[in-house]
Amino acid sequence: MLNFRQKFGKFGEDLAVRYLKKMGYQVLCRNYRTRFGEIDIIAKDSDTVVFVEVKSRRTSSFGHPKYSITHGKQERISKTALYYLKENDQSNCSARFDVVTVNSVDKKTDVEIIKNAFELAY
């Protein structure tokens, strides 16, 4: 059974998936896990494989969610993305890292895509 925080995280990811599809992305995979880490969403945007980190917030007390992706988190996502590309024989394809932020403050929910949010980090 999911606790409130986990339910809110799933709510944010579900919103992100719907928003990405609306923007023309093709969702390939959700919650891709390896020993290196996890990627929330893997999608295609035209010919580009996009590794998407979803950050959701219910309050503005901790700042905008886009600022909460640490260098360590970027490293884990990068290693996981490289593993995905190798495992799926896509090492030569175009890829990028996007962040989808979900701000649900004061009964208003905003979703934003930040394309090329960070570079490969490892």
Q: Whole-prediction pTM value?
A: 0.89
Contacts of 58 (CB under 8 A, 6+ apart): 8, 104, 105
In tens, the pLDDT along 29-77 reads: 999 999 999 999 999 999 999 999 998 876 555 556 566 788 999 999 9
Which residue segments constitute the domains of the chain, with CATH numbers given? 4-118 (3.40.1350.10)
Contact 9, 56 (CB under 8 A): yes
In tens, the pLDDT along 76-108 reads: 999 999 999 999 999 889 999 999 988 776 678
